[in-house]
A = this chain, B = another copy of it.
Amino acid sequence: MKRMNIGLLGIGTVGGGVFELLKLNTQEIQRKTSTDIKIIVVADKNISRAKEIAGTSIEITDDAFKLVEDKKIDVIIELIGGTGIAKDLVVKAIENKKHVVTANKALIANFGNELFELAKKNNVTLAFEASVAGGIPILKSIREGLAGNKIEWVAGIINGTTNFILTEMRERGISFVKALSEAQSLGYAEADPTFDIEGIDAAHKLTILASLSFGIPMSFKDVYVEGIKTLEQKDIQYAEELGYRIKLLGIAKKRDKGIELRVHPTLIPEKRLIANVNGAMNAVVVKGNMVGPTLYYGSGAGAFPTASAVVADLIDISRSSKVPSYGFENSKINVIPIYKIEDVICGYYLRFRVTDKPGVLAEITKLFGDKKISIDAMLQKEPQEQESEADIIMLSHLAVEQEINSIIHAIEALAATVGKVIKIRLEDLSK
């Protein structure tokens, strides 16, 4: 098997996530790449914490500059952040002909132009999917998936902290100050939340989205930035009365003479999908001239979602060009059984008609009880005037389909039941 040796700069939250992901999904990744992607050296100021996360079987150093020159390393993952030492290290790594994968939006938004030049000159890849919207593959979608389009505009909820705060303000009617302090106590906002709430983090990401959408240089200094600090509760309410939600959006829009680049609180019609993106989630709408509007939604931060994007970049590098048709190597396609419909597990909506007699409901709920299947909700409609029959609707909890089928047969066999039971499956889709 091919081998790809990784040097990891910084093993904090995200670094730990990448480490964990590569361990957990080793086999699956090898099915997709025929490559053994392995972190072999970690550099971190905090050696004891690094040892705790990475174990003692791999090399740990506090000399990051030595690591980026290490001859046995093919790819550097930079997770230090900021534009100080991280920049020096990325430059050194590239000059040493190493591919670099980074989640560092500030670095790319401020110094992307020169770093990409340098990478090209040294014939290596500088990959940065994780720098925007965490685990959502938004950069790949713009750069490759929508490459046939002229992009007309991009608009995104690209900062989870502020979206969490705005969601709390709306749903619970609390002030910005209260929502911020709750976000801090829940770990959604940092002790110093300036970068997030003043829109700077979003502006970094918007800079990157705009460059890829329009093929323009990174233009961070030209982004207009307005945060959410001054947003009042009453404006959220008035907006709602008028049919709108307020979101902190990053917007990049092409016009005849140039590009609009701006981050600010924005009213959006409530029926737009992106208006309904709540909590700490991210979403980006990309409007292509051919495809129309498309939307990408998911977790924009956190150890594992960010790691997902970092590792996608590693896999891209390992595949160099040929992505296999299935995404898995041809020899690794598994033939595994497909469940028969009787054996699938989901929730169920059942609707049936019963004559309005005492004791019927007890009989029916007992059928569920006997099979140990919970009823999540029930609706009994009043019989229409001059009728003695009523519709009953039941939502079951997760169950194997054949168990539900046998309950259905039993319900249909009851004296009180009129006609057939209508069955529709139910999926929660939350986890």
Q: How many copies does the complex hold?
A: 2
A377 to B249, CA, bound (A): 22
Q: Which of A146, A155, A257, A268 has the most CB of B within 10 A?
A: A146
A interface, over-half SS: mixed
User: What are the residues of chain B within 8 A of A260 when measuring CB–CB?
Assistant: 338-339, 344-345
Q: Is the CB of A143 within 8 A of B323?
A: yes
Q: Is the CB of B276 within 8 A of A335?
A: no
Asked if A413 CB lies within 8 Å of chain B CBs, one says: no
Q: What 1/0 flags go to A222-244 for Cβ under 8 Å of B? A: 11100000011011001101101
Q: Which A residues, 301 to 332, have Cβ-Cβ distances below 8 Å to chain B?
A: 304-305, 307-312, 314-316, 320-323, 325-328, 330, 332
Asked if A119 CB lies within 8 Å of chain B CBs, one says: yes
Q: Is the CB of A135 within 8 A of B292?
A: yes
Asked if A269 CB lies within 8 Å of chain B CBs, one says: yes
Q: Please, which residue of chain B has its CB at the minimum distance from the CB of A224? A: B341
Q: Could you tell me the distance in whole angstroms from the C-beta of A121 to the nearest C-beta in chain B? A: 10
Question: Which bucket holds chain A's interface residue count?
Answer: 35 or more
Q: Could you tell me the distance in whole angstroms from the C-beta of A39 to the nearest C-beta in chain B? A: 13
Q: Could you tell me the distance in whole angstroms from the C-beta of A88 to the nearest C-beta in chain B? A: 20
Asked if A415 CB lies within 8 Å of chain B CBs, one says: no
Mark A residues whose CB is within 8 Å of B: 17, 21, 24-25, 28-29, 31-33, 112, 116-117, 119-120, 126, 129, 134-137, 140-150, 155, 211-212, 214-217, 219, 222-224, 231-232, 234-235, 238-239, 241-242, 244, 246, 249, 251, 253, 255, 257-262, 264-269, 272-274, 276-277, 283, 285, 287-299, 304-305, 307-312, 314-316, 320-323, 325-328, 330, 332-341, 344-347, 349, 351, 377, 379, 381, 391, 393, 395, 422, 424-431
